[in-house]
Structure 1
């Protein structure tokens, strides 16, 4: 399963807010064997949201959108998703019923627009907040508030499944440039992909389709590099 993550918000692009949602989603999707191949941040503009969603839903098995969900003036995501599908944003009876049943709100207390979703979308309940999410075809719309986003994702996590991989990590004190020959060799000898991440030491991440291959490749490499 291949996926793309889209985060929405002017505050992300200005640097006022650090985007932790994308990294969290990528980690959870990776745990479920899903390959995330794009992370894109767009402003609170309907046209930009719709354009990116249309591009990605044509290319990937799933698109996860986070941010810009709610009834305020800058919450444009539901409108952008609806535009991408050529639909209207309409009142969701399911969203209203869920909020009345599971929160302290009465229908008359809800801010105008809170329960509006793209026509035909499945309502995703918000266990930690008010504004619901939505799923339409293979596009999932989640809130931007991290706690709400995480809780809502867990409600649909089982809908994301791919080929699980197995990872081993080898750390070395050698500089990255000195490791090129051994990285090439371990890739030739074993069916693994290798990521190289420099820092205080170099972290070599070996990924394989089964744990035995990953362990064997890591053992081979550990015998041939200086430990960190």
Structure 2
């Protein structure tokens, strides 16, 4: 399962919002045995989005697009995906009904906002999806996503994106397995060992240097679990390793796409 991730948003390119969606998606897909081969961020421009989706859907097993859904003029992602797949954008009646109910409930729960602001919504436009697409709707947010052919479209707000990914997570299962060991050895001293393990075993080995008191990491990956186990055993015999493995840091996992001015992320 080879996957490409396309994140959409001018705010990402300007550095106004930290793009943690791509990292979260890559980790989730990898944990399910998939392999992310491309990650790219593009502006809120329909032609640019459509070009990349059109190209990648032919190259990869799946293309994940996140960001650019909603009701503002720069939310052009769904139309761009329709363009890329040469499909008409059509109103999905069930999605429209769900959005209508959401809008009605929001108005009932927030009378002070509905009295103060004009919250008139174009429900037909909001419910437009590429013809034949499977709507993806959650209670986490407003904007619907969709799955169409091998393209998956999610919102950019992290909590909404995560909830929507769970609806289709099983479709990203693959055969990639990996194991990580930790070593205090400096990366510059590992060159010959890394060359040797790659020659001996059908694996990829990533080397990530340590920082301060945190040891470096060697991540062994393959579609053959036995090869991974054998390569890790060989590394343990040829590289100084940390006996008690260090869990990967969780810093930033709860700060997905958040900045001070925009606490909801993208």
What TM-score comes out, normalization by structure 2 length?
0.78
* Structural mapping, 1:1-228, within 5 Å: 1-100=1-100, 103=102, 105=104, 111-112=121-122, 113-165=125-177, 167-200=178-211, 201-227=215-241
Distance in 1, Cα, partners of 2:46 & 2:7? 13
Distance in 1, Cα, partners of 2:25 & 2:120? 29
Higher RCO (Cα < 8 Å, 6 or more apart): 2
Distance in 2, Cα, partners of 1:110 & 1:205? 52
Distance in 1, Cα, partners of 2:221 & 2:149? 31
Gaps of 5+ in 2: 108-118, 243-266
User: Pairwise CA RMSD of aligned residues?
Assistant: 2.0
SS at match of 1:6: strand
For residue 52 of structure 1, report the CA deviation from its aligned partner.
Answer: 0.4
For residue 120 of structure 1, report the CA deviation from its aligned partner.
Answer: 2.6
8 Å Cα contact 1:126-1:133 kept in structure 2: no
Distance in 1, Cα, partners of 2:86 & 2:70? 20
SS at match of 2:40: strand
Cα displacement string for residues 44-94 of structure 1 (whole angstroms, at most 9, x for unaligned residues): 001000000001011111111000011111101011111112233232212
Distance in 2, Cα, partners of 1:215 & 1:58? 34
Cα displacement string for residues 202-222 of structure 1 (whole angstroms, at most 9, x for unaligned residues): 211112334443333223212
Cα displacement string for residues 87-136 of structure 1 (whole angstroms, at most 9, x for unaligned residues): 332322121123345x3637x98711221222332211123011100122
Distance in 1, Cα, partners of 2:85 & 2:200? 47
8 Å Cα contact 1:127-1:152 kept in structure 2: no
8 Å Cα contact 2:184-2:210 kept in structure 1: no
8 Å Cα contact 2:35-2:176 kept in structure 1: no
Distance in 2, Cα, partners of 1:164 & 1:58? 21
Gaps of 5+ in 1: none
